[in-house]
Structure 1
Amino acid sequence: MQTPQAVIEIGSTGIRLLVAEPVEERTADSEQPVQKKYNILDRSEFPVNLGRDVFTAGSITRETLLACLQILNRFGEQLKGWGISRQETIVIGTSAVREANNRDPFVDRIKVKTGFTVHVTDGIEENRLMYIAVTECLKDESVSVRQSDSIILEISGGATEMMLMEKGRMVGAHSMRLGTVIIEQQIRAMLGNIDDAHRFIGEFIRNTKNALNTEMNLDKVQQFIALGTDMKLAAIFAGKPISPFLWEIQRYDFEAFVDEVQHYTTEECIAKFKLNYNDAQTFQISLIAYKLFVYLTNVTSIIVPETSIREGILLNNAELSDGELRDEFTQQILASATSLLRKYQGDEAHAEHVKRTSLRIYDAMQDELGLDPHVRMLLSVSAILHDIGMFIRAEDHNVHSKYIINHSEIFGLSRDDKALVALITNFHKGSRMPQDDPEFRLLPRTSRMIILKLSAILRVADALDRTHQQKLIDFTINFAHDSLTFRVKGHTNLALEKLAVAQKSDLFENVFGYKIVLV
């Protein structure tokens, strides 16, 4: 028996614990055990008012902090029975913790008083974990289900996480500040009612629709996947199970259920659906929001996986050791980056060529780089997006590329990853050294070295396609003691590329000590 693992989520409306045991199974063609899934051993949940504190006053109150400490210490005793220490437990804080003005003191108090270390997630990281959890639920479904044009949606107390999938590939990932607690507090402040909430949500979604349609035609969406406790309740009362941990609700049944629930009082929601008071207060608002998002599409049914971000965290840890799954996830990240480039009318052929060339240089120098596989993916994203700033202006387009990347959402990239990509693209142009940049000098040494190495490689790869005509397709890379030589087959005129390499190879020579030669 393997050691159980635990995840605690500090959310807007409650603190939730999940304990699960890894299960290993043997494949038919291998004697080696392959981890397939987790068996859920224990679940616990206690309500807290984090969202109401943060989304009304901006900070977590002392009373709420004390309640959180009490719940977490109770979970710590519960975990002791499973042989799991507090140091081994993964604890995440989502939107309410993320937006709290006193986030750092709150996280520090938890560390000091309970022994738990809280990792505060960003919205796109939650999207990534949600995608992993949903993929696991759908893995036994037909290929047509897994490769459909789909929307994946989860509405929580403090945010709405949405992913757009076209033929199974990521084209958009968004974390929107539309949460049930936020809406409920705003409606209460204006002395409104459920009709006002309906209008508020409807206006937000209408303003969002045009932006979403630029990424994928919502009228052609074939599959709507909705997560969350509220949708699970809707599935139980208005849908039917189609496989373990997977439900389906016909659209007209869901709409009828939502309309019926709007007539219930908070007390009736508590009694009928076994909700705590906090969740019952936002239950109607949540269902309205899901219903209005469904209205963006022409789907006839809604798929509801019985999973959460907590399962996504456990599965993420397992997938890190699975090369095939890691490669698939990387492809989704690159698909999201390509979709962003397409949105800004970038030169996709040039971007793809620079990406391939960058990776060939990176792989040829693998023994000298000393970087982990994750950094290789960052180079791919940087190469795809290096010229995206051309949409604003060709002059200083690298600066505009940095701005667009920093203010966009790229599926699978954390805030720190995105900041690295933005700086790498910023330094891909010109002869200026990153070391001369004040922002660069403030970064940790590890980040500085990643930026230097990847910017140097990207500059050379970009120079090798100076004409944007992809002339250098068939070439070899050779090392001498002081030079790196690109030998191009054929009789292509490379005068412009040689000039560009001469202009842009200073950083490469400075970082690696190799002179670039194009033959």
Structure 2
Amino acid sequence: MKKTSTFGIIHIGSIHTSMAIVKYHSPTQIEVIDSANKELPLGEEVFRTHRLSFASIHALSTILQGFRQLLLDYRVSEVYPIATTVVREAENRLGILDLLYMRTGFRFHVADMTEEVYYKFFALHHFLKKNEQVGTKPTLLLDVTSGGLGFTGWQDSTLLFQTNVTGGRLSVLEHFTEEERVSVMFPSAVRDYLHASLSSLWPRIEHADIHTLVLTGFEARILVSHLLGSAAEYPAVIAPEEFLQIMESLMPLTAHKLMQVFDISERRAQLLLPTLLLYEEVVRTLNIDTILVMNTTFLYGYAAWCGAQRISPSAISEQADLLLDLARSTAMRYNCNLPHISRIDEYATKLFDGLRRVHGLSTRHRLLLRMSALLHETGKFVNLRNYPLHSWQIIMGTDIFGITDAEKEVIACISYYYHRDNPGKKDVHYQRLTQDQKIIADKCCAILRLADALDQGHSGRIQDLSVRLVKEKLYVNYTSEYDISLIRWSFAQASVLFREIFGIEPVLRRK
């Protein structure tokens, strides 16, 4: 019998606070049992004052208390509350989260920008890979949030690139005063602002020769409703020429005109204006052939992710492979030795799996270890001297798709300490970590250090590696036709931290 899972999802957004009770079957089959959506424009307040007032928190608490009652009525106990831009950008974020917990009992996870874009992609990817006409040619998934823009390139189930920039619909508006927004020159100023903000991004995206632009969000759905009316079905196709004709017909582009043409409120019109100009910038710059509009919401994307975590391990594993491919592309961009990092990835994975009974780490930590293996030498691109520090800086300065900021800190520290002295109280990078992060970093660092020792000299002299744990010894068995003296000496040095962390003696043994 096919597994299902019923749970609740709550999302605090910049404009709406939403809830859905869903029955999850697969990433592309999620049944919505009931839902609720309350408009509460918190984003404007946060972008203007950088805080949420007590009055706003009180209003939010009231909405969430109503959601809790609905969940109780349906006897749903498993709930995944998440907040995005509006809480992430608020200076009183910790106070907001504490008050919401005290008043509602919900502990909200605050998604990073990269994480926020990833959840939407998770659901979109599973939908699009079923469509034979989409994805065979380079496809750009454009996600417009209140605080940023996500650009994800995809082809043949492979991630081509992923990058995020500031400049979401609300953050664009907040660059201009109320007086400037009603000026007839406002659309022109926004065009110039977007062009300048994104100009450095285009060379990399243009190189991918994008064929299809995939849009989501209420702005894209407004366009579809305008063109196709109530008969609109998703995914909906819009010809780029048709979109540009709409833009021409809207001149002069003002919020008042958008209210009339699309029959929307003033607030929605103000948010639609910068988004339409962004779409225009992308279509004109990249010479898109097709625009595909999906009705996938953030709430649906997050439900797909949460459900997959519960009962669809194959979907999670497939996404992990995509993220690792993207990490390899990042490593190649920094001229890393691909055969070497691939061997380290293989060795580290085998060591991790061989220690499964004793290391106490999860499948997610396995992914972080593999990311570290692929990115641990990126710093050599900057300077061979003290390159682990440069690797740490590169990793911390890079948006790693599908990885939270807290997880990225772990990856950066593993990559930093694998080739240095053991981390301690005086290490600044290490002290940034929480207690749980330190434990994960210590264990993964010990494994990566041992894996790297197995390819000292970057010569690939170790073949047919297998790992077996017997009582308090980890036998690392191999075949080789070469002298591996350097590897043996390096392995012995790396074993010191390994023994200290796991209490297990690693033994390098020829088959």
Between the two proteins, the alignment pairs up a number of residues equal to 502
Look up the match of 1:457: 447
Quick check: 1:390–1:397 contact (8 Å CA) kept in 2?
A: yes
Q: Does 1:257 align with 2:246?
A: yes
Distance 1:470 1:97, change over 3 A: same
Measured against aligned partners, the alpha-carbon deviations of 1:443-495 in whole angstroms (never above 9, x if no partner) come to 44433222222111111111111111211122444556664444432431212
Look up the match of 2:17: 15
Identity of aligned residues (%): 21
AA of the residue aligned to 1:14: H
Look up the match of 1:40: 32
Partner Cα distance (2:178, 2:390) in 1: 40
TM-score (norm: length of structure 1): 0.88
Q: Over aligned residue pairs, what C-alpha RMSD do you find?
A: 2.8
Distance 1:202 1:42, change over 3 A: farther
Aligned partner of residue 186 in structure 1, secondary structure:
coil
TM-superposed CA distance for 1:433, in Å, is: 4.4
Greater Cα offset, 506-515 or 479-488: 479-488
Quick check: 1:251–1:299 contact (8 Å CA) kept in 2?
A: yes
Partner Cα distance (2:296, 2:360) in 1: 37
Quick check: 1:51–1:96 contact (8 Å CA) kept in 2?
A: yes
Partner Cα distance (1:149, 1:483) in 2: 49
Partner Cα distance (2:438, 2:76) in 1: 37
AA of the residue aligned to 1:65: I
Quick check: 2:465–2:479 contact (8 Å CA) kept in 1?
A: yes
Look up the match of 1:67: 59
Distance 1:123 1:35, change over 3 A: closer
TM-superposed CA distance for 1:428, in Å, is: 0.8
Look up the match of 1:199: 192
TM-superposed CA distance for 1:147, in Å, is: 4.1
Distance 1:239 1:494, change over 3 A: farther
Partner Cα distance (2:337, 2:395) in 1: 16
TM-superposed CA distance for 1:355, in Å, is: 0.4
Look up the match of 2:169: 180
Partner Cα distance (1:3, 1:502) in 2: 48
Equivalent position to 2:267, from 250, 263, 278: 278
Partner Cα distance (1:381, 1:198) in 2: 38
Residues 41-440 of structure 1: pairs in structure 2 closer than 5 A = 41-84=33-76, 88-142=78-132, 145-188=134-177, 191=180, 192=183, 193-210=186-203, 212-213=204-205, 217-218=207-208, 220-238=209-227, 245-263=234-252, 266-267=255-256, 269-270=258-259, 272-320=261-309, 321-434=311-424, 437=427, 439-440=429-430
TM-score (norm: length of structure 2): 0.90
Aligned partner of residue 51 in structure 2, secondary structure:
coil
Aligned partner of residue 199 in structure 2, secondary structure:
helix
TM-superposed CA distance for 1:246, in Å, is: 1.0
TM-superposed CA distance for 1:203, in Å, is: 1.4
Measured against aligned partners, the alpha-carbon deviations of 1:408-464 in whole angstroms (never above 9, x if no partner) come to 011111111111111111111034345663553564443322222211111111111
Aligned partner of residue 509 in structure 1, secondary structure:
helix
Partner Cα distance (1:164, 1:242) in 2: 30
Aligned partner of residue 38 in structure 1, secondary structure:
strand
Distance 1:475 1:6, change over 3 A: closer
Partner Cα distance (1:329, 1:423) in 2: 24
Look up the match of 2:508: 517
Aligned partner of residue 395 in structure 2, secondary structure:
helix
TM-superposed CA distance for 1:325, in Å, is: 1.0
5+ long unaligned stretches in structure 1: 25-33
Partner Cα distance (1:91, 1:485) in 2: 44
5+ long unaligned stretches in structure 2: none
Q: Does 1:501 align with 2:501?
A: no
AA of the residue aligned to 1:45: N
